[in-house]
Structure 1
Amino acid sequence: MIDSRQLQLFVTLAEDLHFARAADRLDIGQSVLSGQIKKLETDLGVRLLNRNKRAAVTLTDAGKTFLVEAVAALRQLERADRVGRLAARGAAGQVALSYVGSTVTSGLLPRLLKSFRLRFPDVRMQIVAMETPVQLEHLADGAVDVGLLQARARYPDGITARVLHSEQLMIAVSADSSLAHAKALKASQLRGVAFIAPQFNEAVGFAEHLVNLGRIGGFDGEPEFRVNDFMTAVSMAAAGYGVALVPKSIEAFAQPGVRFKPLVDFKEEAKLAIAYREREHSPCVRAFIDSALSSGISTASKVDQS
């Protein structure tokens, strides 16, 4: 089996086409170089060099063909060595990242990705949109490495999280609604109004916010319409089907015909968190987590796991 040292000796000799000069460059004896090249030719079963005491050393046709492959092989070995060293410190590899849509509208996802790419450009990111409960399932079974999701009071065993972003909750209403004329709303003004809510068959997350809002306003907080995402909820609100409780960042992506109103007596916030396995051993996954946690987001705070 040919080794990298033999390839390096041959490539250096092929560059100089002179045993003495090549040996000096390699810092070995000329006889050692000559012996190694003869061994290489024996192992391959072909003559690579034309040797003539009265003429310069030249490459045979087989030598020219082998030189191309030898150079390519050495480059690939150098790349493998570099990637291996990068991977050892988390600077190479792959991270499977899932996210909810509000991490896009809030700017959290692009901010974290840019910060990480600047420090670890060789890490490949595999990114997929996913509802919070599905993210938690896939974090537990290993299909996802890191999740950006709606914060929870509790997480499955083995999963931990930190809040990275918090923002005000607002009511999206049609521009034609009487509610659109108010500078701000009280929860009681929403009594009897149809709610449009993105819910994913769970009683936590935004479902909890809506229940708590109803408790303050004197209504049950049960949505009339259930949709898949905030943008759909806002579109229906703009069309007059009802109102939607949404994060403030959605306002920047709203279509015409909708207004966003703050609530004077409801101070709960939408919180976005990064979730990951407590016993995560992948260096590049740990590097992404550390980058996110140290990204300098002023609202970052630890999720209560008790």
Structure 2
Amino acid sequence: MIDSRQLKLFVVLAEDLHFARAADRLDIAQSVLSQQIKRLETDLGVRLLNRNKRAAITLTDAGDVFLVEAKAALRQLERADRIGRLAARGEAGNVALGYIGSAVTTGLLPDTLKAFRTTSPDVRMHIVVMETPTQLERLSDGSIDVGFIRPRAHYPDGVTAKVVQRERLLIALPADSPLARAKAVTTSQLRGASFIAPQFNEAAGFAEALARLGRVGGFDAQPEYRVNDFITAVSMASAGYGVALVPQSIGGFAQPGVVFKPLSDFDEQVELAVAYRVREHSPCVMAFIDVALSYGGLPKRLGTHRTTR
């Protein structure tokens, strides 16, 4: 079996076509170089060089073909060595990331990706949008490595999360609503409104926030329309189907026919969290988690924090 050292010796000799000069470049004895090349030819079962006492050495046809492959093999070995060292430092590898739509609108996703790419450009990111419950399932079974989620009171065994961002809630109203002219809206003014809400067949998340809004306003706030995301909710509000309780960042994606108003007597905030496995061993995944946790200026290091909210 040939090795990388033999390949390097052959490539240098093929470039110089002179044993003495090649030996000087390699800082070895000429006799050692000659022995190694003969061993390489024996291992391959083919003559690579034309050796002439009175003329410069030349490559045989087989030598010409082998030179191309030898150079390619050395380049691949150098790349493998570099990638291996990067991977050990968390600067190469693969990270599977799940996220909810609000991670885009708040800037958490693009800002984190940009910061991580600056330090780890060789890490391949595999990014998939999915709701929080699905992300937690995928984290638990290992299908994804990190998730940008709405925090929960409880997480699957082996999964934890840390809040990195908070934002206030607004009410999205049709532009022709009488409330659209108010500077702010009270919760009681929303009594009787048709609510449009993203909901994923669970009680946690925005379903809880909407229920609390109704309690403050003195009514039972139940969604009349359930949709998959806030952009859809805002689109329906702009078309007059109802109102939507949305994070402030959604206001940056405003559509014609909709306005966003603060709630004067409902000052709750919603949160985004970074979720990950407690016992994570991949250096590049841990590096990404550290970057994501630093987004909000929060303490780093895995296994030292668990949200109990």
State TM-score, norm by structure 1. Answer: 0.97
Report whether the alignment pairs 1:287 with 2:306: no
- Show CA shifts across 1:263-300 (max 9, x none): 111111111111000000011100100111123x3689
Alignment-derived partner of residue 126 in structure 2: 126
CA distance in 1, matches of 2:42, 2:156: 62
Counterpart residue identity of residue 91, structure 1: E
Write out aligned runs for 1:267-306 (5 A): 267-295=267-295, 297=296, 304-305=307-308
CA distance in 2: counterparts of 1:138 and 1:169, whole angstroms: 28
Counterpart of 1:304, as a letter, is T
CA distance in 2, matches of 1:187, 1:106: 25
Residue by residue over 1:11-68, the C-alpha shift from the partner in whole angstroms, topping out at 9 and shown as x without a partner, is 1111111111111111111111111111111111111111111101111111111101
Q: Structure 2 vs 1, CA of residues 299 and 252 (structure 1 numbering), >3 Å: closer, same or farther?
A: farther
1:126-153 per-residue CA deviation (whole Å, 9 max, x = no partner) reads 0000011000000000001000011222
Q: Distance in 2 between matches of 1:23 and 1:298?
A: 56
Aligned-residue offset at 1:120? 0.3
SS in 1 for 2:223: coil
The aligned residue for residue 65 of structure 1 is 65
The alignment partner of 2:57 has SS state of: strand
Alignment of 1:1-306 (within 5 A): 1-295=1-295, 297=296, 304-305=307-308
Q: 1-side partners of 2:258 and 2:142: how far apart?
A: 41
> Distance in 1 between the 2:215 and 2:104 partners?
30
Q: Distance in 1 between matches of 2:197 and 2:266?
A: 17
1:63–1:94 Cα change, 3 Å: same
Maintained 8 Å contact 1:165/1:300? no
Deviation at 1:303, TM superposition (A): 6.5
Q: Is the 8 Å Cα contact of residues 187 and 265 (structure 1) preserved in structure 2?
A: yes
Cα distance between partner residues in 1 of 2:15 and 2:219: 84
CA contact (8 A) 1:155 1:305 kept: no
AA partner of residue 232 (structure 1): T
Q: CA RMSD in A?
A: 1.4
Q: Deviation digits for residues 198-245 of structure 1, max 9, x if unmatched? A: 000000000000011011001112111111110111111111111100
Contact 2:139-2:276 at 8 Å conserved across structures: yes
1:164/1:300 contact within 8 Å kept: no
In 2, Cα distance between equivalents of 1:231 and 1:33: 69
- Please tell me the residue identity of whatever aligns with 1:222: Q
Letter in 1 for 2:45: G
In structure 1, give the amino acid aligned to 2:29.
Answer: G
Q: Which runs of 5+ in 2 are unaligned?
A: none
Task: Please give the alpha-carbon distance, in whole angstroms, between the structure 2 residues aligned to 1:46 and 1:255.
Answer: 73
Instruction: State how many pairs are aligned.
Output: 305
What code does the residue aligned with 2:283 have? P
| CA–CA distance in structure 1, aligned partners of residues 194 and 52 of structure 2 | 95
Q: Specify the SS of the correspondent of 1:123.
A: strand
Amino acid at match of 1:279: R
SS in 1 for 2:62: helix
